[in-house]
Amino acid sequence: MKQNIIKLLVWACMLGNVYAQRISDTTIVAPYVSIHFAGQLPYMDMATRFGSNFAAGGTLGFKAPKNWIFEGDFSYMFSRNVKEDVLTQLKNDKGNVTNNEGFPADLRVFQRGWMSTLNVGKLLPIKKINPNSGFLLTLGAGMMLHRIKLYDAEQKIAAIKGDLRKGYDRLSMGPTLKESLTFFYLSNNRLVNLNIGIECYQGFTKGVRGINYDGAPVDTKQRLDVVLGLRVAWVLPLYKRLQDRETYYY
């Protein structure tokens, strides 16, 4: 039993060495998945409605020959930094929203939204690391959506019950462009694979609600919603170990 365990450990070490030789001297071709987290700042029209936010999501990508990158990317935005006051018609003279019983309500206001893009990029390798790691420049296009979410913790505010909340949410959506410059790293031992850098979205959105229940005029103008962020992603490459250049010693 002890000898079998030793043989297994030796085989695992040899397998790791073969893999390390391959990724360290060969440009691999492989699909990958990643999960990411980002901190973002709004600019242009977006900054009039929201403050800073966080985003989390995932990416399905493919690393092609000559280090071209193709991706499908999704990010979910969330924050409590809402600048636009959509509750003016619900507040009393003391500035409080009251529930159906006349008491101050536990009403919370959030930002929610998402961006989804298809991206193409080029990896500029740093050969001192390996030919699969370096600076990655990507360009993409897709859709952006954002809104104001009202959460009635006690479910005691009739004015925002059910679909009535849509009259306050300022839902906006439209096409978006995306650019990013990141450091893409695939380690030789496959234990640490990261993608970290800056990203920027430009959303060409419009309000899609026909009425605002707070009395504000309906926003039908074209918006330019810019979001700039710092993203950190964990990458999982999905590929088989290459066999054609393995070396065996007897």
CB atoms within 10 A of CB 168: 23
* Helix or strand run (H / E) with residue 182: strand 172-186
Query: HEC string of 86-117?
Result: CCHHHECCCCCEECCCCCECCEEEEEEEEEEE
pLDDT confidence tier of residue 218, bands split at 50, 70 and 90: confident
Task: Give residue 22's pLDDT.
Answer: 59
Q: Supply 190's token pair.
A: 């496959």
Tokens 């159906």 -> residue: 100
40-55 burial string, b = 16+ CB within 10 Å, else e? bebeebbeebbeebbb
Q: Which amino acid is at 104?
A: P
State the Cα–Cα distance between residues 130 and 22, nearest whole angstrom.
10
State the Cα–Cα distance between residues 82 and 223, nearest whole angstrom.
17
Beta-bridge partners for 125: 134
Phi, psi of 47 (to 5 degrees): -70, -20
State the Cα–Cα distance between residues 171 and 149, nearest whole angstrom.
9
Tokens 């810019």 -> residue: 226
pLDDT of 2-39, one tens digit each? 455 444 444 434 333 434 445 666 888 889 999 999 99
Domains and CATH numbers, the chain: 28-237 (2.40.160.20)
Q: Using CA atoms in the order 152, 158, 161, 163, what is the torsion angle rounded to 10 degrees?
A: -140
pTM (global) more than 0.85: no
Residues 149 and 110: beta-carbon distance below 8 Å: yes
154-165 burial string, b = 16+ CB within 10 Å, else e? eeebebbeeeeb
Please say if the pLDDT value at position 189 is more than 90: no
Q: Provide mean pLDDT across the span 112-136.
A: 94
Tokens 């690391």 -> residue: 129
pLDDT of 130-154, one tens digit each? 899 999 999 999 999 999 999 999 8
| 15: helix, strand or coil | helix
How far from each other are the two terminal CA atoms of the chain, in whole angstroms? 24
Percent of the chain with pLDDT over 70: 86
